[in-house]
């Protein structure tokens, strides 16, 4: 599976962005998809996960209620809708494919990352 994340950018606090992750390869529909984020000098952290079917999702406490994750099997794409953005959401966001896991080790494939910057 090859992953291409895009949709990042600069937004004011309180605004919204939608990240997309386009996947190629036959394994997309059989993979759970996760979004992670990382700021300089900190470890990458899990943001959200969606199961193969899309029926099960998980969100980090810091984004629950503000972010949603969804996937379009026909388009081989997973989305991260980010609302009510805060400056602390500023990070490079990565999408990943693998098994449903709250840890990086559960994901075999990674996208290149897209920068999200939230100004106060």
- What share of the chain has pLDDT > 90, as a percent? 92
Across 107-113, average pLDDT: 95
- Tally of CA atoms within 13 A in the half-sphere of 80 that contains its CB: 33
Give the pLDDT band (50/70/90) at residue 1: confident
pLDDT tens-digit map of 3-22 = 999 999 999 999 999 999 99
pLDDT at 15: 98
Q: Alpha-carbon torsion 106, 112, 51, 69, what sign? A: positive
Among 26-40, 49-63, 105-119, which stretch is predicted with the lowest mean pLDDT? 26-40
Taking 80 as the threshold, does the pLDDT of residue 66 lie above it? yes
CA distance 77 to 16: 19
Taking 80 as the threshold, does the pLDDT of residue 26 lie above it? no
C-alpha 63, offset from chain centre: 11
8 Å CB contact between 120 and 13: yes
Taking 90 as the threshold, does the pLDDT of residue 29 lie above it? no
What long-range pairs does 14-18 form, CB within 8 A, spacing at least 24? 14/84, 14/85, 15/85, 15/118, 16/81, 16/82, 16/83, 16/84, 16/85, 17/82, 17/85, 17/116, 18/79, 18/80, 18/81, 18/82
């Amino acid at each position: 599976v090859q992953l291409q994340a895009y949709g990042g950018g600069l937004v004011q606090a309180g605004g919204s962005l939608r990240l997309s992750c386009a996947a190629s390869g036959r394994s997309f529909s059989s993979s759970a998809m996760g979004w992670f984020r990382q700021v300089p000098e900190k470890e990458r952290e899990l943001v959200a996960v969606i199961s193969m079917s899309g029926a099960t999702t998980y969100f980090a406490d810091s984004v629950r209620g503000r972010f949603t994750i969804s996937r379009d099997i026909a388009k081989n794409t997973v989305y991260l809708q980010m609302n009510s953005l805060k400056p602390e959401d500023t990070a490079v966001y990565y999408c990943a494919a693998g098994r449903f896991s709250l840890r990086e080790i559960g994901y075999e494939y990674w996208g290149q990352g897209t920068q999200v910057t939230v100004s106060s």
